Amino acid sequence: MATAAHSGKNYLNEKSGLWSWLTSLDHKRIGIMYMISVMIFFAIGGTFAMLLRWELFGAGPTIMNAHQYNQTMTFHGAIMVFMVIIPGIPAFLGNFILPLHLGAKDVAFPRVNLMSWYCLMVGSAIAFWSLFYHGSDTGWTFYTPYSVTTQNGTIWLVFGAFIIGFSSILTGLNFIVTTHKLRAPGMSFWRMPLFVWALYSTALLQVLATPVLAITLLLLAMERLLGIGVFDPNLGGDPVLFQHFFWFYSHPAVYIMILPAMGVVSEIITAFSHKTIFGYKAIALSSVGIAAVSFFVWGHHMFVSGQSEIAGIIFSFITMLVGVPTAIKCFNWVATLYRGSVRFDSPLLFALGFLFLFTIGGVTGIILATVGIDVHFHDTYFVVAHFHYVMVGGTLMAIMGGIYYWFPKMFGKLVNEFWARLSFVFIFIGFNVTFFPQFVLGAMGMPRRYFDYLPEYEPLNRISSFGAWTIGVGFLIGLGVIIHGLLRGKPAGPNPWGAKTLEWTTASPPPHENFLVQPVVTAGPYEYR
Amino acid sequence: MSPAASTASRFTPYAATEIAKGWDALYAFLLIASLISCILVIGGLIVFVIKYRRKVEGEKTPYISHSTTLEFLWSFIPFVIFMVVFVWGWKLFHDFRKMPENALEIAVEAQKWDWTFGYKSGRRVSGEFYVPINEPVKLVMTSKDVLHSFFVPAFRNKQDVVPGRYTTYWFQANALGNYQVFCAEYCGDKHSGMLAKVHVVTREQFDEWLSNDPYKGLSSVDIGQKVYAARCVACHQLTDAKGVGPGWKGMFGRSEKMADGSTITADENYIRESILNPNAHVVEGYPAGVMPTFAGQLNEQELMGIIDFIKTVK
Amino acid sequence: MSTVSSSQHNNGHHHAHHFESAEAEYHASKFGTWTFLVTEILMFGGLFVGYILYHERYPQMFHAGSTFLDWRLGALNTVVLLFSSLTMALSIYYAQMNDKRKVLINLYITLACGFVFMIVKAFEYTSKFSHGLFPGKYFNPHEPHAIQLHQQFPDLAQYFSFYFTMTGLHGSHVLVGMGLIGWLIYRAHKGEFHSGYYTPVECVGLFWHLVDLIWIYLFPLLYLVG
C-alpha cells in the first residue's frame, strides 16, 4: 500500500475510465459523483428560478402563462429540495469527508453507498420523465386533493421523489453505522469533529423521517391510481391528514438540509480563526437536540389548515424550543472568533455569509413560529423569504464554503482566491437584494405561488428579480472558479489551511485507503494550542 | 387616501380590526427584538473578524474551550424571550380563533377560482361582499373542490377552506373601506386570480344593499356582464384567445368539434349545458374536469343573462 | 479490491478492507440491518396511524368491512408465519453449529411457509375480487350482503383500500423475504455459512422476523376488529 502512495497514486488516478467511476465503491469517488450530479440539478433548478423571477418581473404575463408558471414553480421546488439541498451536503461533502474525519478507510457499506447514488439518479430521471407527461403543477408539497385531481404527470414526480427517498435513507443508514463502528482507535464520540456530529444527527433524521415520506407518497400514488379514499374527501378521506403525514417528514427534512450546513460552518470557523471551537459539547448536543425536537413541530406548517386551536398552540411552543439550541450555536460560533487569528479566505467568507443570513432566517423563523403572527404570514412571501434565507442563505452558502474549503483535499489543487471571493460578493449581495424585499412583500400581504400580483407589489418584485440574476452571475463565477481550479489550480499540499482534523493529515488527493497508516487519536479535533 | 389604497406605501396593510392592531403591536415587538439579536450576532461577528484578523502567519490563539456561564446565559435569555413571544402569540391567536356569539353569519363557498358569499336572507353574491362596520361577522366556509384559503391582509388573518368540512373565520371591521381578499392556498392555474373584495359599509348602507334586488333596472345583457365579471372572467376572455377555457368572441353559433368526435353548435342549449354540466361535452383541445359546475349557483335570470351577454361578444 | 467475498471450508472469512476484523464487520452488518428495520417500522407505522385514525372515525364501517374477511384464513397464515420464524431462527442456530444439512432443511421449510402464506393470500384476494370487492374507485360489490352494507356505508371502499394497501405492502415484503431466503439457500448449498461467518443468515432472519411481526399486528387489526 505504501508503495502505491509513493508512486503518486491517489483515488482519482488509481483507475481510469468512466466505468471505473460508475462502479466505484470508494466513498471519495461516490462523493465526487454526487458533486457533479448535484451541480447539474442545481443548474436546472436555478434556471427555473431565473425564469420564475423573470415572469414576476412585472405584473401580468411576462414570458409564460399561469400553467407554465405553476409547473416551473413546482419543478424549481422539487428539484432544489429533493435533488439539491437534501443530498447536497450529506451525500456529497459528507460522503467524501465523513470517513476521513473518522480516520476510517471507507463508509460501512460501500455497495449500499453506490446504490444510494443510483437511487438518486434513477429517481431524478423518473421525476424529469414527468415533463414528457405535461409536467406537474402541484407544488413540491403535493397537497391533496389538488394533487389527486390535476391532470398530468404528477404521478411520475411523486414516484421519482419516492425513489430519491431511498437514496436518502440508505445514505443515512450508512453514516449511522459508520459513525458507530468505524471510528479510528482513540476517537471517542467527544473527539469527533462537529461536522460528524451534524451528519450523525442528520442521518438519524433521514432514517427516521424519510420512511414516512415513502408511505405518504405511496398512498398519494394509490389515491391517484385507485382512488383509495384516504386523502380524497369525496371518498370519505381527509385532505388535511396528507399535510400531517407530509410535514411529519418534511419538517425534519428542513433540518436534514440545515444541520449538515451547521457542521460545515463549525469546521470552517475553527480552521480559519485558528482557534478551538467555543463550547464543543454544546454545539454537538444542540445538533442532536434540534434533530430530536424537529419531530414534534410539523404542525407549525398547519396553523391555518383547520387543525384545532390547542394543536396550534402546542406546536408553536415546541417550535420555540428549537430556537434555543440554534441560538447556542450562533453565539458559540461568534465566540469562537473572539481572540482568534482570522484569515479571510473564501471558505470563511461563505461561513460568515452563512452566519449573517442564517441569523436573519432564524429570527424570522421565531416570528413565524409565533402562532398569532403566522396567521397573517402563512403562505405569503414572508415565508418564501424566510425559508430561502435558511435554505439558500444557509445551506447553499455552506455548500459553497465547503467546496472551497475541501477543494484542495479533493483535487489536490488550490482555487483562484480572487475569483472565489468575487463569487461570494455576487451571491451574498444578490441574495439579500432578492429575498429581503420579499419579507416586505409578505408583510404587505402578497401570497406565495402567485403567477400574477396586484400592481402595488410590482416595485419590490422588480428589485427581487434583479437580485436573482445577480445570484445567477455569482454561481456562474463559482462554477468558473471550480473548473479553473481543476484545470489550472496550483498544488495544494496536504494541509493548505493549517487545520487540525484528520483529513488534513493525509495526502491531497488522498490515496484509495485514505490513510497509509491507521491514525490513532489522542485529543479532540480542534487542538489549536 | 382610502385605507385600501394606502397599502402600497406601508410595510403592513392598513389594520381594519382591533385584533389587526394587536397583531401590529406584537409584530413591532418582534421586529425590534429581532433587530437587537441581529445586531448582537452580526455586529459581534464583524467586530471580531476585523479586530482579530490574522496579522502574521502562525500567531498563537488562546485555548478557550467553553464557558458554562456564558452558554447558559445565551440559551436562557433567548428562552425567556421566546416564551414571552409565545404567550403573547397564543393570546393573539386565541382572539383570532374565538368565534363571537350573535355574529352576522355568512356562508362562504370556494371553488376554482372564485368565492361565493351567501347571506341568511338568501342573497348570494360572488367576487365581492358587504358587511356592516363595527359588527362581528362570522364566515362559515367550505370548498367544492380543492383546498383554498381565505385571506384578508387588512384583518391579518387567514383560514384554509377545506372540501368536505367547515372552517370558520371572524372579524369585526372598524374602518369603512374596501379590503382585498386573496386565496392563499395554492389551487391551480388561476390561483392568483381568485380574488374578492370585502366592502365595509355602515349598517344603513348594508341593510339597503341586502334588501336590494341586485339586478333592478338592468337589462339581461347587463346582468350577464355582471355575472361574467364575477364568475367567468378568470378562465374565459372576451377575445377569441384560448385561456383556461375558450374565449367568448364569436363563439355563439359556431360549430365546435368535441373531444368525443361529435360536432355541436354553440347555441343556447349547449351553453346552458356547459354551465350546469360542463363535462358532458368538452370542446376538443380542452381537458375535461377543469370547469366546475355552476348548477345551483346561478338562477335562471343569471343563466339567461350570460347567454345573452355571450351573444353580444362578437 | 476485496469486498464481502467468501472462502469456503475455512473459518477465515475475508472481511472487507475497511473493517479491522471479521467480527467488526459482523457487528456493523447487524447494526445496519437493525437500522433498516427501524425504517421499515416507521413506513408501516404511517399506514397503521392512518388505519387507526379512520377506524376511530368510522368504527361501524370498519366492523362491517371486516365481516368480509375470513378470520380462519388469517389465523392459519399467522400460524404459518410464526412457524417460519422458528425455522428461520433454527437455521441461524445450525449455521453457528456448522450443520449445513439442517441449515438447508430449515431454510427450505421457511421458504415453503412463505409460499403457503402467499397462496392463502392469493385465495383471499381472488375471493374478494370475485365479489367485486376491489380497492378504491374500482369497488363494485355484486353480492347482496355487500351491496346492502355499501348502501349503509357509502365509503365502505375505504376499508378495502386499507385492507389491500396494508396486506399488499406486507405481501410484497414476504416476496422480498422469500427472494432473500432463496439467495441464502443458494449460498448455503455452496457451503458458505459456518460458525465463523453467518452474517447474511442472521440479517435476513431479522428481516423475516420483522415481516412476521408486522403480520401479527395486521391480523387482529384487519380480521378481528369490531
Which residue of A137, A376, A380 is in closest CB contact with B23? A376
| Touching chains, A (3+ CB pairs < 8 A) | B, C
- CATH number of the domain that C165 lies in? 1.20.120.80
pLDDT of residue B4: 44
Strand pairing partners for B139?
B106, B169
pLDDT of residue A7: 57
- Beta-carbon separation of A316 and B93 below 8 A: yes
* Mean pLDDT value across residues A169-184: 95
* Mean pLDDT value across residues B136-158: 94
pLDDT of residue A3: 42
Which residue of B88, B183, B187 is in closest CB contact with A146? B187
- Beta-carbon separation of A306 and B159 below 8 A: yes
A411-420, B169-178, C155-164: least confidently modelled range: C155-164
- Beta-carbon separation of A228 and C16 below 8 A: no
- Beta-carbon separation of C24 and A230 below 8 A: no
Which residue of B147, B151, B188 is in closest CB contact with A447? B151
- Beta-carbon separation of C47 and A215 below 8 A: yes
Cβ distance C9 to C191 under 8 Å?
yes
- Beta-carbon separation of B27 and A331 below 8 A: no
Query: In this structure, is residue A1 part of a structural domain?
Result: no
* Mean pLDDT value across residues B184-206: 93
- Beta-carbon separation of A379 and B149 below 8 A: yes
> For the CA atoms of chain C, what is the radius of gyration?
21
CB-CB neighbors (< 8 A) of C162 in chain A: 228, 230
Give every CB contact of residue B300 below 8 A, 6+ residues apart in sequence: none
**Can you give the residue range of the structural domain that contains C210?**
35-223
Q: Report how many domains make up chain A.
A: 1
Q: Is residue B207 located within the same domain as residue B231?
A: no
Band (pLDDT 50/70/90 cuts) for residue A489 is: very high
* Cα A440 from Cα A452, distance rounded (Å): 17
Dump pLDDT digits (tens) for A61-72: 889 989 999 999
- For testing the chain B interface, which of A73, A143, A310, A373 should be mutated: the one with the most B CBs within 10 Å? A373
Among A393, A389, A383, residue whose Cα is nearest residue A450:
A383
Give every CB contact of residue B161 below 8 A, 6+ residues apart in sequence: B108, B110, B141, B142, B143, B147, B148, B149, B150, B167, B185
Exposure of A61 in the CB half-sphere (CA atoms within 13 A) = 11
Residue predicted with more confidence, A7 or C125: C125
Cell of A201: 444527527
pLDDT of residue B17: 93
Among A246, A217, A210, residue whose Cα is nearest residue A154:
A217
Q: Does C48 touch chain A (CB under 8 A)?
A: no
Cβ contacts from A onto C, under 8 A: 121
For residue A511, pLDDT over 50 is answered with yes
Query: In this structure, is residue B84 part of a structural domain?
Result: no
- For testing the chain A interface, which of C42, C48, C139, C167 should be mutated: the one with the most A CBs within 10 Å? C42
Which ipTM did the prediction report? 0.91
* Cα B286 from Cα C168, distance rounded (Å): 37
Q: Report how many domains make up chain B.
A: 2
* Cα A493 from Cα A486, distance rounded (Å): 15
Give every CB contact of residue C125 below 8 A, 6+ residues apart in sequence: C164
For residue A121, pLDDT over 60 is answered with yes
A229-233, A377-381, B82-86, B213-217: least confidently modelled range: B213-217
- Beta-carbon separation of A323 and B78 below 8 A: yes
| Touching chains, C (3+ CB pairs < 8 A) | A
Is B in contact with A (3 or more beta carbon pairs below 8 Å)?
Answer: yes
Q: Which residues 138-177 on chain C approach chain A with CB closer than 8 angstroms?
A: 138, 154-155, 157-158, 161-162, 165, 169
Give percent above pLDDT 70 in chain C.
94
Helix axes C59-66, C22-57, angle to 10 degrees: 110
CB-CB neighbors (< 8 A) of A212 in chain C: 42-43, 45-46
At position C20, the amino acid (one-letter code) is E
- Beta-carbon separation of B164 and A238 below 8 A: yes
Q: Is residue B279 located within the same domain as residue B306?
A: yes
Instruction: State which of B211, B234, B253 marks the end of a domain.
Output: B211
Strands laid side by side in the B104-111 sheet: B124-126, B114-119, B104-111, B137-143, B167-171
pLDDT of residue C12: 54
- Beta-carbon separation of C158 and A214 below 8 A: no
pLDDT of residue A60: 86
Residue predicted with more confidence, A475 or B250: A475
Query: In this structure, is residue C124 part of a structural domain?
Result: yes
Q: Which residues 15-74 on chain A approach chain C with CB closer than 8 angstroms?
A: 25
pLDDT of residue C7: 36
- CA A227 to chain C, closest CA, distance in angstroms equals 5
Beta strands in A141-255 (DSSP E): none
Which 8-state DSSP code applies to residue B119? Answer: E
Cα A348 from chain centre: 18
For residue A518, pLDDT over 70 is answered with yes
Mean pLDDT of chain A: 92
Q: What is the DSSP string of A235-274?
A: GT--HHHHHHHHHHHHHHHHHHHHHHHHHHHHHHHHHHHT
pLDDT of residue A125: 95
For residue A106, pLDDT over 50 is answered with yes
Q: What's this model's pTM, rounded to 2 decimal places?
A: 0.89
CB-CB neighbors (< 8 A) of B171 in chain A: none
Strand pairing partners for B111?
B114
pLDDT of residue B9: 41
- CATH number of the domain that B159 lies in? 2.60.40.420
Q: Report how many domains make up chain C.
A: 1
- Cα torsion through C198, C203, C206, C208, rounded to 10: -100
Cβ distance B282 to B246 under 8 Å?
no
- CATH number of the domain that A396 lies in? 1.20.210.10
- Beta-carbon separation of A182 and C31 below 8 A: no
Query: In this structure, is residue A514 part of a structural domain?
Result: no
Query: In this structure, is residue C5 part of a structural domain?
Result: no
Among A368, A406, A452, A334, residue whose Cα is nearest residue A100:
A406
Among A111, A221, A211, residue whose Cα is nearest residue A157:
A221
* Mean pLDDT value across residues A195-201: 96
Dump pLDDT digits (tens) for C160-210: 889 999 999 999 999 999 999 999 999 999 988 998 899 999 999 999 999
For residue C79, pLDDT over 90 is answered with yes
- Beta-carbon separation of A237 and C158 below 8 A: yes
- Beta-carbon separation of A230 and C1 below 8 A: no
Q: Please report, for residues A46, A85, A113, A265, the alpha-carbon distance to residue A347 in angstroms, rounded to integers and kept in the order given.
A: 22, 19, 27, 9
pLDDT of residue B43: 94
Other CB atoms closer than 10 Å to residue C186's CB: what's the count?
11
Give every CB contact of residue A110 below 8 A, 6+ residues apart in sequence: A25, A26, A27, A30, C3, C16, C18
Among B236, B234, B273, B232, residue whose Cα is nearest residue B251:
B236
Cell of A94: 459528507
Cell of A23: 462502479
A156-165, B281-290, C21-30, C120-129: least confidently modelled range: B281-290
Cβ distance C157 to C135 under 8 Å?
yes
Strand pairing partners for C194?
C197
- Beta-carbon separation of C28 and A228 below 8 A: no
pLDDT of residue C13: 65
Query: In this structure, is residue B256 part of a structural domain?
Result: yes
* Mean pLDDT value across residues A163-177: 95
pLDDT of residue B283: 85
Cell of A474: 455569482
Query: In this structure, is residue A10 part of a structural domain?
Result: no
Cβ distance C66 to C224 under 8 Å?
yes
Other CB atoms closer than 10 Å to residue A385's CB: what's the count?
27
pLDDT of residue C9: 37
CB-CB neighbors (< 8 A) of B189 in chain A: 66-67, 70, 137, 451
Among B155, B187, B26, residue whose Cα is nearest residue A316:
B26
**Can you give the residue range of the structural domain that contains A394?**
26-505
3-state secondary structure of B118: strand
- For testing the chain B interface, which of A150, A244, A376, A424 should be mutated: the one with the most B CBs within 10 Å? A376
CB-CB neighbors (< 8 A) of A99 in chain C: 18
> For the CA atoms of chain A, what is the radius of gyration?
23
Give percent above pLDDT 90 in chain C.
58
Query: In this structure, is residue C20 part of a structural domain?
Result: no
pLDDT of residue C2: 36
Mean pLDDT of chain B: 88
pLDDT of residue C10: 41
Cβ distance B164 to A233 under 8 Å?
yes
Query: In this structure, is residue C174 part of a structural domain?
Result: yes
Band (pLDDT 50/70/90 cuts) for residue C38 is: very high
For residue B1, pLDDT over 80 is answered with no
- Beta-carbon separation of A109 and C32 below 8 A: yes
Exposure of A439 in the CB half-sphere (CA atoms within 13 A) = 18
CB-CB neighbors (< 8 A) of A218 in chain C: 165, 169
For residue B139, pLDDT over 80 is answered with yes
For residue B122, pLDDT over 80 is answered with no
Band (pLDDT 50/70/90 cuts) for residue B2 is: very low
Which residue of A313, A341, A355 is in closest CB contact with B59? A341
CB-CB neighbors (< 8 A) of B8 in chain A: 444, 456
* Cα A275 from Cα B216, distance rounded (Å): 81
- CA A459 to chain B, closest CA, distance in angstroms equals 10
Query: In this structure, is residue A111 part of a structural domain?
Result: yes
Q: Does A517 touch chain C (CB under 8 A)?
A: no
* Cα A242 from Cα A231, distance rounded (Å): 6
Please, what sign has the CA dihedral across residues B64, B67, B70, B73? positive
Query: In this structure, is residue A516 part of a structural domain?
Result: no
For residue A2, pLDDT over 50 is answered with no
Query: In this structure, is residue A390 part of a structural domain?
Result: yes
Query: In this structure, is residue A15 part of a structural domain?
Result: no
Cell of B305: 343573462
Query: In this structure, is residue C156 part of a structural domain?
Result: yes
* Mean pLDDT value across residues A136-152: 88
Cell of B285: 383541445
Query: In this structure, is residue A71 part of a structural domain?
Result: yes
Q: Is residue B112 located within the same domain as residue B203?
A: yes
Among chain B residues, the shortest Cα distance to A353 is held by B42
- Beta-carbon separation of A104 and C35 below 8 A: no
Cβ distance A222 to C165 under 8 Å?
yes
Cβ distance A217 to C47 under 8 Å?
no
**Residues written for chain A:** 529
Dump pLDDT digits (tens) for A247-256: 999 999 999 9
- CATH number of the domain that B224 lies in? 1.10.760.10
3-state secondary structure of B83: helix
For cell 443548474, the residue is: A43
Instruction: State which of B178, B211, B244 marks the end of a domain.
Output: B211
SS3 content of chain B, % helix, strand, coil (to 5): 40, 20, 40
pLDDT of residue B10: 53
Dump pLDDT digits (tens) for A19-33: 999 999 999 999 999
Instruction: State which of B211, B228, B246 marks the end of a domain.
Output: B211
Query: In this structure, is residue B277 part of a structural domain?
Result: yes
Which residue of B64, B71, B96 is in closest CB contact with A328? B71
- For testing the chain B interface, which of A134, A349, A363 should be mutated: the one with the most B CBs within 10 Å? A363
For residue C56, pLDDT over 70 is answered with yes
For residue C4, pLDDT over 90 is answered with no
- Beta-carbon separation of A364 and B10 below 8 A: no
- Beta-carbon separation of B30 and A366 below 8 A: yes
Do the bridges between strand B128-132 and strand A413-414 make them parallel or antiparallel, or are there none, so unpaired? unpaired
Among chain A residues, the shortest Cα distance to C161 is held by A228
Which residue of B23, B42, B62 is in closest CB contact with A373? B23
Do the bridges between strand B104-111 and strand B137-143 make them parallel or antiparallel, or are there none, so unpaired? parallel
**Can you give the residue range of the structural domain that contains B204?**
104-211
Cβ contacts from A onto B, under 8 A: 270
Query: In this structure, is residue B130 part of a structural domain?
Result: yes
Query: In this structure, is residue B288 part of a structural domain?
Result: yes
* Mean pLDDT value across residues A117-130: 95
Which residue of A151, A309, A328 is in closest CB contact with B93? A309
- Beta-carbon separation of A222 and C136 below 8 A: yes
Is B in contact with C (3 or more beta carbon pairs below 8 Å)?
Answer: no
Q: What is the DSSP string of A366-416?
A: HHHHSHHHHHHHTTBHHHHHHHHHHIIIIIIHHHHHHHHHHHHHHHSEE--
- Beta-carbon separation of A278 and B183 below 8 A: no
- CA A95 to chain B, closest CA, distance in angstroms equals 28
